[in-house]
Amino acid sequence: MRMFATIAKLLVKRVLTAIPILLIVSALLFCILRILPVDPAAMSLPPNATVQEVEAMRTEMGLNLPLYQQYGIWLNKLFHGDIGRSIHFRQDVTSLIGSTLPATIELAVIAMGVATVFGLAGGLFLFYVRGTRAEAVMDFLSILLLSLPEFLWSLFLLLIFGVFFEVLPFTGRLSPGFERPVVTGFLLLDSLITGNISTFLNALEHMILPCLALGIALSPSLMRVLRSSLLDAYQDDYIQQARLRGLSEKRILIRHGLKNAILPTLSLMGVQFGFLFGGTLLVEIIYSYPGMGNLMVDAIRNADLPIIQGAGLTYCIAVLVISIVVDSLYLILNPKLRVR
Amino acid sequence: MRPLPLWLKSGRVQTGLVIIFILAVCAIFAPYLAPNDPNEQNLLSILTPPIWADGGDAMFPLGTDSLGRCVLSRLIFGARVALTVAFSASIGAMIIGAFFAHVAGYFGGWVDWLIGRVVEIWLSFPPVILSLILMVGLGTGLRNVVLAIVLVDWTRFCRVLRSEVIVLRRRDYVSAAQLVGFSHWRTITREILPGTLPLLITLMSLEMGVAVIVEAILSFVGMSVGSETAAWGQMIADARQNIYDAPFNLIAPIFAIFFAVFGFNILGDGLRRTLDTRLTQTERT
């Protein structure tokens, strides 16, 4: 019971500190994008608009007001769930984000799963071969892997499996001819709910390469942290104690070593998961994956300020939410923090 | 002759330095090394394969891109952008990050609190997104790429160095310096900075690798240097359009980026192992 109380307390505290952070971030975003040398008013009018028309539009859009007032208006609208209309797509930014965010979340979550599997397996293996010659090789290999960021992996895997061997699809989410079921917006979930197994499998097939690219790129740092925290844990007396009690090495590793070493890995995963949301951007572009990253880059190329602001804020909220979730998980798993 | 310092004996450090040296030679002597003008378009010979493949042209050892520009020359000139960004951005990020880290760690109190909160705000943004948004605000160009990376990545230095400063500040020799009447500035630069220097150098080396990647990402989406300067990310973006016709055009810049990042990473890892006084002897070998 006390555990729930501490977690609840932490949640409240974190959410309360997240609010000022979001306010400052939104103000920063607003200022950075207002110094841009583009005129949203002129952009939303046809090219043959007169100077008077542009001026009228500027007044209507509130662009002639002082910056802090513009920000106030924007913030007020934000609280009412209105973050403006895209100049380029002529659509509400909320609906644009709403239709792309689920795709990015699906990508990020599955990629994180892949990274966890590779990271844990690799870390355990690195630890298992400690002190042997294989360790030096593996260690070198992990630096090699660390030097390949996710977008190089994406291109690399695309070349191998998509272009040379042609075994996996590498554009979009579904092959032509597949109907897209819409229930929650999450394609994988929706195709399962509606019972379209073939659609589900096709969507899954499209996600293999991007998820592998992201997962492989993230895993080396997880491996290295897990290895070094396992090494740390094995310095402690309880490992010797367990050995003296005659427990098998496997049991010591899983029940005693891993249980203590997993925490630093978990907290790194939390940080990485937040960054992963940004890292998907490049992967989405490379695989023409219709997520937030593609939306963001389209918006940047068209200088579409409302989308850039909205998407930027959404990324920021995602990072904050993830870090709060990870902190709570940390508390659940780490008994040392539970006692006040 | 004096024996080599310990850090130079490490194979990793040597590997890293050799790679960086090769890249630096390419960057500095690019006009002499490159067989062609990197921006010269030969529209009659577009997408020629590399010299060892069928139809290769000795004029273009690694083939040409979709506008008939020499891939090898662009690769060599691309090293200029990559290294310029790597060095200037990491130095800039280091100076800002180290300054705030030392101030926060040394003075503590509300200064530490304030700097900590600023770092927290920065970290609530995925770095790629933040640098893209900054590039939108700043506009393209080499100087702005460097500025954007500095503004995003100073927190990497600040976070790690701050905790190091807090440890060092409790040392007796720091208190001794304060008792003798050293000014705060002098205590930080003479007593604490020498202690944080190994970590600082290691972080800088790793940051150079990060900067190369970020520049490649930005130029891939067309938000880095203008199109008249050859950059590895741009080459990737161009090659992606012709992935079936000229897959090698994609492999070449991927390898170049990997080579550079690997050089900086292995140097950083080697430095960490040899300079970090807290590592045990076994871990160092």
CA A207, CA A174: separation in Å to the nearest integer? 9
Report the residue count for chain A.
Answer: 340
Asked whether residue A304 is domain-assigned, the answer is: no
Closest alpha carbon within chain A to B131: A278
Asked whether residue B266 is domain-assigned, the answer is: yes
Q: Which residues of B fall within a CB distance of 8 Å from A29?
A: 133
Mean pLDDT of A45-64: 75
CA A279, CA A58: separation in Å to the nearest integer? 36
Interface check A152 vs B, CB under 8 A: yes
Residue B281's pLDDT band (cuts 50, 70, 90): very low
Asked if residue B35 has pLDDT above 80, the reply is: yes
- Looking at the DSSP assignment, which residues form a beta bridge with residue B64? B70
Q: What is the CATH number of the domain that holds B137?
A: 1.10.3720.10
Residue A36's pLDDT band (cuts 50, 70, 90): low
Which helix (H) or strand (E) segment is A249 a member of? helix A249-251
Which helix (H) or strand (E) segment is A84 a member of? none
Closest alpha carbon within chain B to A151: B217
Residue-level pLDDT at A340:
45
Asked whether residue B167 is domain-assigned, the answer is: yes
Among the listed residues A118, A119, A124, A117, the one whose alpha carbon sits nearest the alpha carbon of residue A257: A124
Looking at every residue in chain B, the average pLDDT score rounds to 86
Query: Which residue range(s) make up the domain with A236?
Result: 94-292
Mean pLDDT of A60-85: 78
Interface check B265 vs A, CB under 8 A: yes
List the 200-239 stretch of B: residues with Cβ below 8 A of A: 209, 213, 216-217, 220-223, 236
CA atoms lying within 13 Å on the CB side of residue A141: 13
Neighbours of A336 (CB within 10 A): 7
Asked whether residue B39 is domain-assigned, the answer is: no
Mean pLDDT of B178-186: 88
Cα of B1 to nearest chain A Cα, Å: 31
Q: What is the per-residue pLDDT across A99-129, written as a single tens digit (0 to 9) for each?
A: 889 999 999 999 999 999 999 998 888 888 8
Ordered DSSP codes for A147-210: TS-HHHHHHHHIIIIIIIS--S--SSSS-TT-----SSS-HHHHHHHTT-HHHHHHHHHHHHHH
Q: Is residue B218 within 8 Å of residue A282, measured between CB atoms?
A: no
Mean pLDDT of B254-262: 93
- Facing B127 at nearest CB: one of A163, A275, A312: A275
Size of interface A-B (CB pairs under 8 A): 111
Asked whether residue A114 is domain-assigned, the answer is: yes
Residue-level pLDDT at A337:
62
CA A274, CA A147: separation in Å to the nearest integer? 20
Kindly determine whether residue B125 and residue A151, on different chains, have CB atoms separated by under 8 Å: no
Interface check A149 vs B, CB under 8 A: yes
Number of domains in chain A: 1
Residue-level pLDDT at B146:
94
As a whole-number percent, the residues of chain A with pLDDT over 90 amount to 8
Of the segments A132-146, A221-235, B37-51, B146-160, which one has the largest average pLDDT value? Answer: B146-160
Residue-level pLDDT at B57:
74
Asked whether residue B274 is domain-assigned, the answer is: yes
Mean pLDDT of A260-274: 81
3 state SS of A85: strand
Asked whether residue A248 is domain-assigned, the answer is: yes
CA A96, CA A85: separation in Å to the nearest integer? 9
Residue-level pLDDT at B81:
92
Kindly determine whether residue A32 and residue B221, on different chains, have CB atoms separated by under 8 Å: no
Asked if residue A211 has pLDDT above 70, the reply is: yes
Residue-level pLDDT at B285:
41
Kindly determine whether residue B126 and residue A163, on different chains, have CB atoms separated by under 8 Å: no
Asked whether residue B50 is domain-assigned, the answer is: no
- Facing B128 at nearest CB: one of A152, A278, A316: A278
Mean pLDDT of B193-201: 88
Asked whether residue B161 is domain-assigned, the answer is: yes
Number of domains in chain B: 1
Ordered DSSP codes for B60-126: STT-B-TT--BHHHHHHHHHHHHHHHHHHHHHHHHHHHHHHHHHHHHH-HHHHHHHHHHHHHHHTS-
Query: Which residue range(s) make up the domain with B151?
Result: 19-26+63-278
Q: What is the CATH number of the domain that holds A249?
A: 1.10.3720.10
Interface check A148 vs B, CB under 8 A: yes
Q: What is the per-residue pLDDT across A290-331, written as a single tens digit (0 to 9) for each?
A: 889 999 988 888 878 888 888 888 888 888 888 888 878 877
Q: Which residues of B fall within a CB distance of 8 Å from A312?
A: 125, 129, 133
Ordered DSSP codes for B109-177: HHHHHHHHHHHHHHHTS-HHHHHHHHHHHH-SSHHHHHHHHHHHHHHHHHHHHHHHHHHHHTSHHHHHH
Interface check A156 vs B, CB under 8 A: yes
Residue-level pLDDT at B20:
94
Q: Is residue A300 within 8 Å of residue A281, measured between CB atoms?
A: no
- Indicate if ipTM > 0.90: no
Looking at every residue in chain A, the average pLDDT score rounds to 83
Neighbours of A197 (CB within 10 A): 10
Asked if residue A336 has pLDDT above 80, the reply is: no
